[in-house]
Amino acid sequence: MSPLITLQRNQDDIQNLLKLASKLNGKDSSSTKKSVLSQALISTITGFEVFLRQCYSIYFDFEHVLIGKPLHDTIYPDTRSHFLNLGNARRKILSLSSIDLKKLVSEEKYKALQLAFPKRHAIVHNVSIKDKEYISQSGETEESLRESIVITSTDVRQ
């Protein structure tokens, strides 16, 4: 499946999660809304990570198609950890092409993406609790250590 189709399907799923979250406004549904928004952010960043990995692998494969054997099936699995944070993804893509992710979007959107990656990591691996790694990557102060990450619909849309 093409990276663009994969990303579009992911975006459709995220829109459904955001619609669901918008309907959860009662006092007794705040915990459910938090969970839905957390899953929307996880899905957003994971979808973007997969999109970047697919694009990188396809581009890499095109670079080597002359040798007669496609490399995509070898390269894609090997890139799993390379795209877990935006800085690594940006460097990986720049090493192969002239594409600079930071220059493709506004500074504001790039910063939102930079913060979304450690948020996703903390949600998945720390039950939404800020740890030292999150603090160092997000630029937040030590005072927020061990606090819960708050996700809004705006965070997901950005």
Q: What does the pLDDT look like over 35-60, one tens digit per residue?
A: 999 999 999 999 999 999 888 888 77
Q: How far apart are the first and last CA of the chain?
A: 25
What does the alpha-carbon distance between residue 76 and residue 129 come to, in Å, rounded to a whole number? 31
pLDDT score of 18? 96
The answer to whether residues 122 and 149 touch, using CB atoms and an 8 Å cutoff, is yes
In this prediction, residue 75 carries a pLDDT of 76
pLDDT of residue 68: 64
Q: How many domains does the chain have?
A: 1
pLDDT given for residue 64 in this prediction: 65
Residue 123's CB is within 10 A of a number of other CB atoms, namely 22
Residue 75's domain comprises 3-157
pLDDT at 51: 92
Please check whether residue 89 is in contact with residue 52, taking contact to mean a CB–CB distance below 8 angstroms.
yes
Ranges of the chain with pLDDT below 50: none
Which pLDDT does position 102 carry in this prediction?
A: 93
